[in-house]
Amino acid sequence: VSMGRTVVELFYDVISPYSWLGFEALCRYQHIWNIDLRFRPAFLGGIMQQTGNKPPAMLPKRAEYMLKDLKRMAKYYQVPVHMSGDDFKRIFATSSLAAMRFITAVDMTNPQYLEPLSREFWMRFWSQHEDISQPENILAVARQAGLSAELSQKALEMTSSPTVKDRLKETTAEAIKYGAFGMPAVVAHYNGKPHLFFGSDRLELLGSTIGE
């Protein structure tokens, strides 16, 4: 890390479509801005539970707006998030815990796959509308992201280990400690202190805060 590079942490969960938008935007900005981008896979369910937050879609008017908003954001950022009103049931019925543990295991063993793997999970769930909660889906995602069968199998076995479970819990707790109540949570370490930005639509403020 060269001097003067601002560390920017992105706490995300692949069940969150706004996390995908924030992820892709930051992946682009990391080549333009003087930042050191760090991906921090965390568990949205844990954040919601511990902060008493509720999914925005539980409020009908908000759900209605969210559909339009995601459509506009997807077009603006050129990210293939496809969502319809029927998707809310599917999302509420899906747990991302297994996927986020798998991503955590890969982060711990082969971090070079973290970016393509995370992207592939979003593609599968948000673009292709397929399940990401079952072991066979998770292995298919890993193959698609370029992991060998051997690495994927090893990561899958690690998901039930205390090491991986604790790491995911710790990352989630860290996000909450910074003030996160949802995802994505972007934390810029600038001028000796952490600055939290919530959502994928505050990136111009992030840039302005860190002098970009």
pLDDT digits (tens, 9 = 90+) for 113-148: 999 999 999 999 999 999 999 999 999 999 999 999
CA-based nearest residue to 185, from 169, 205, 202 = 202
Cross-strand pairs, 186: 10, 197
2 located within any domain: no
Spatial contact of 24 and 79, defined as CB atoms under 8 Å apart: yes
Domain extent, residue 35, equals 7-210
Handedness of CA 207, 203, 2, 174 (dihedral sign): positive
pLDDT greater than 90 at residue 160: yes
Quick check: is 16 catalytic?
A: yes
Beta strands 6-12; 35-41: pairing state: parallel
- Tracing tokens 């995370």 back to the chain, one arrives at 118
| CATH number of the domain that residue 117 is part of | 3.40.30.10
Whether the pTM exceeds 0.75: the reply is yes
Burial class (CB in 10 A: 0-12, 13-18, 19+), 63: middle
Residue 186 lies in a domain: yes
Phi, psi of 76 (to 5 degrees): -65, -45
Residue 104, in any domain of the structure: yes
Task: Name the one residue in this structure whose structure tokens are 């840039």.
Answer: 207
131, with CB counted inside 10 A (0-12, 13-18, 19+), is middle
Per-residue confidence (pLDDT) for residue 2, from 0 to 100: 47
Residue 77 is assigned to a structural domain of this protein: yes
pLDDT in tens, 64-116: 999 999 999 999 999 999 988 888 888 888 999 999 999 999 999 999 999 99
Distance CA 136, CA 118 (A): 16
CA dist 192 → 6, 91, 199, 211 (Å): 10, 38, 23, 14
Average pLDDT over residues 32-57: 93
In a domain, 59, yes or no: yes
The pLDDT-based confidence of 1 (bands split at 50, 70, 90) is very low
Q: Which of 2, 16, 19, 127 is catalytic?
A: 16
CA 130 to CA 99: how far, in whole Å? 13
Q: Please give the residue that has the higher pLDDT: either 73 or 58.
A: 73
* Domain total in the chain: 1
